[in-house]
Amino acid sequence: MFNSFSTYYYSFVKIVNRYLWSGEAVKARPVYVRYGFTVILLAFITLLKLQYFIYIGEKTPFLLYFGVVIIATGFGGIGPGIFSTVVSALISNYFFIPPVNEFHFSRSDNIQVLVFVFECLLLISLSGAVTRASARARKTAIRFHALVENSADVIAVVDASAKILYCSPSVKKALGYTVKEFRKINGFSLIHPDEKEEIEHFYNDLIQSPRKSKSMLHRYLHKNGKYVWIESTVTNLLDEPNVQALVTNFKNVTERVILEKQKEDFVGIATHELKTPVTSIKAYAQILLKRFNKDGNTAAAAMVEKMDGQLNKLIALIGDLLDVTKIEAGKLQLHEEWYDFNTLVTEIVEELQRTTDRHTIIWKLDPVDKIFGDKERIGQVFTNLISNAIKYSPTSTDILVNSSVKDNTITICVEDRGVGIARDQHAKVFDRFYRVSGPGGDSFPGLGLGLYISHEIIKRQGGHIWVESEEGKGSTFCFSLPMDYRLLPEEHTKNNQEANG
Amino acid sequence: MAKKKILVADDDAGIVDAMQILLEDEGYEVIVTMNGENIFTMYEQNPDLVFLDIWMSGVNGSTVCRKLKDSNTTRDIPVILFSANRDTEQIALKCGADGFLSKPFEISKLLDTVKKYIGGPDENI
């Protein structure tokens, strides 16, 4: 009952808005229509009043003429408004202010008429203001409507029970359904079975968190029967009184996902193909090294050893390329176990010490129990930090390694006296492709991937990595790791994929 | 006494050749195949240890590994999975291989692995 009443009320308001108080509609009407309409209205009201003179004429000469002025202004603008005011005043004077059926201009008559005219002028200016405001509101509404309707992303408004209240037409392009068809579908029924539970969980979570916004990437059944990849962002506006719904925008990103998959596969194959010849080159180099050593040809042996060192750099670069691709795809896998942190560090320090004659690695480690994580990956991070310390301190010799244990967290720092990093660059060193510039502005060689990968590895295992450095004085890179990151709250170890959607 | 025999199965000629020289330098007898399907006939020569590449042309190394470990006649011969794949260790665990070696490798690591499973070329363990 109430519902149908409000529906009628809104359609009434809609009609009034369309035909009255719409600046553009008024301007679009020809002058004779505007004045003609006013004259007809005046005539109609006057006949009505004459017909029922006793009820609406005799004691209230101006009754209904206010209405005429309002409607005439709304329909025809200020001109017909003033016109209807003057005519109503004259009609009222002639027909309805006693003595009737004649014009008379006594002092009291004039005051009555003047008050009427004044009130009407107020009404007209008010009506003008309403017209302008409503025109502005309409324009804004139309603009936003156009924005939403023509957006390449699908925009949908969903209530708490996942019923679709509104959906923009671009859904046809994204999922093949028309808006009408799509609104009849239960949103969850088209989600890929493998992801359904996860998405439902995600959705229920979001409903509980007002004003929160979440993104996700999942498969959805297209009208053509094939699954497509959909990337969506949902914002909970249930507590916003004017919305009371979830607002979502999503798009079909199948092409992008396929391309990413191809790129990932390609890098996987390419790194494998690169590693294969490197493996045999490295093996041959080591055979040569052994044979030169056996024959006592130390000069040749030294050269082959350097060659082997260069090969190791090449192998690390190939590994970095593969790692970055995996991180981007959210597929960097960790192989976790309990391992002895200090043994790992000692092995790496000893191995890297062998690769440099110029630098001395001085290390002091706090005793620590076994920690849980990916030993190889943590080793990779530590190797990266020491290699960087060696690489970026071409003129100094000492590299200090210190570790400390506190509150179930191990912190290890690698300190050098090298070129250092300017303060404004500190935040950038863990970005992809960042490279340190040398003293002369020339950059050091490298892909700029090592610290980015290190940051990712440490983050995934619930740790932190940071730098303290001053240009020209050297850098200290540190990372800290919890003994067992599984004991941390979930958000500390969110991997890339979850963060991106 | 006969020398220890090592079978190397890999589809890359360079790797097969280098492995052969490396291991023969150490005094082992080496037999090789570049065709994954041949591996079962190679077993007739009674190798003491097998190096098996994961990604052999036409044949999936981990499937071969699984077959070798499922069969009574071949089960007892140690299989070392070796590959450029970063997940070599996991694949080795899954298919029942005795050990793994990531490519590229240090010669010392290769020899450590060999010694761990069959000892020196003339040793009996």
pLDDT digits (tens, 9 = 90+) for A55-75: 877 778 888 898 899 888 888
pLDDT class for A495, splitting at 50, 70, 90? very low
Question: Quick one: which of A198, A495, A93 has its CA closest to A330?
Answer: A495
Res A442 pLDDT > 70: no
The whole model's pTM is what?
0.61
Of residues A278, A291, A333, nearest to B104 (C-beta): A278
pLDDT tens sequence across A369-409: 889 999 989 999 999 999 889 888 888 888 999 999 988 89
Helices then strands, counting H and E runs in chain A, come out as: 16, 12
Please name the residue ranges forming H helices in A193-244.
193-207
Cβ-contact A231, A253 below 8 angstroms:
yes
The confidence score (pLDDT) of residue A297 equals 93
Reported as a single tens digit per residue, the pLDDT across A212-269 is 888 888 899 999 999 999 999 999 998 888 888 889 999 999 999 999 888 888 888 8
With contacts defined as CB-CB under 8 Å, which chain A residues touch B32? none
Pick B19's closest partner by Cβ from A276, A278, A283: A283
Q: Is B15 on the interface with A (CB under 8 A)?
A: yes
Q: What per-residue confidence (pLDDT) applies to A498?
A: 40
pLDDT bin (cut points 50, 70, 90) of residue A501 is: very low
Torsion angles phi and psi, residue B59, rounded to 5 = -125, 135
Mean pLDDT of A11-19: 69
Task: Please tell me which residue, B89 or A298, carries the higher pLDDT value.
Answer: A298
A130 has a pLDDT exceeding 50: yes
**Tokens 């040569």 — which residue?**
A288
In the stretch 48-107 of chain B, residues with CB closer than 8 A to chain A read 55, 84-87, 89-90, 103-107
Decide: residue A74, CB within 10 A, 0-12 exposed, 13-18 middle, 19+ buried: buried
DSSP letter string, B27-54: T-EEEEES-GGGHHHHGGG--SEEEEES
Give the C-alpha separation, A191 to A187, whole Å.
8
| Chain A nearest CA to B72, separation (Å) | 31
Angle at which helices A450-460 and A298-328 pack, to 10 degrees?
60
Per-residue pLDDT of chain B (125 residues; tens, 9 = 90+): 678 999 999 888 999 999 999 999 989 999 998 887 788 888 888 899 999 888 766 677 778 888 888 888 888 889 998 888 777 777 888 888 898 888 888 888 899 999 999 888 876 65
For residue range A470-480, list pLDDT tens digits in order. 888 889 999 99
- The average pLDDT across A430-439 equals 73
**pLDDT of A17 over the 70 cut:** no
Nearest to A276 among B15, B89, B90 (CB): B15
* pLDDT at residue number A35: 92
Q: How far is CA A56 from CA A63, A65, A112, A114, A232, in A?
A: 7, 11, 17, 20, 63
Integer-rounded Cα radius of gyration of chain B = 13
Buried b (16+ CB within 10 A) or exposed e, B7-30: bbbbbbebbbbbbbbbbeebebbb
A276–B85 CB contact, under 8 Å:
no
Residue B54: per-residue pLDDT? 83
CA distance A279 to chain B (A): 4
Q: What is the pLDDT of residue A295?
A: 93
If you search the block for the tokens 């665990």, which residue do you land on? Answer: B93
For chain B, counts of helices (H) and of strands (E):
5, 7
The ipTM of this complex is 0.88
pLDDT-based confidence at residue A279 (cuts at 50, 70, 90): very high
Residues of chain A positioned with their CB less than 8 A from the CB of B14:
276-277, 279-281, 283-284
**Distance of residue A280 Cα from the nearest chain B Cα, in angstroms:** 5
- Look over chain A and give the mean of its residue pLDDT values, rounded to a whole number: 85
Ranges of H-type helices in A151-253: 171-175, 179-184, 193-207
pLDDT bucket at A287, cuts 50 / 70 / 90: very high
Min Cα–Cα distance to chain A from B104, Å: 4
Rounded to whole angstroms, how far apart are CA atoms A147 and A159?
22
Number of cross-chain residue pairs from A and B with Cβ atoms under 8 Å apart: 61
Confidence of residue A99 (pLDDT cuts 50, 70, 90): confident
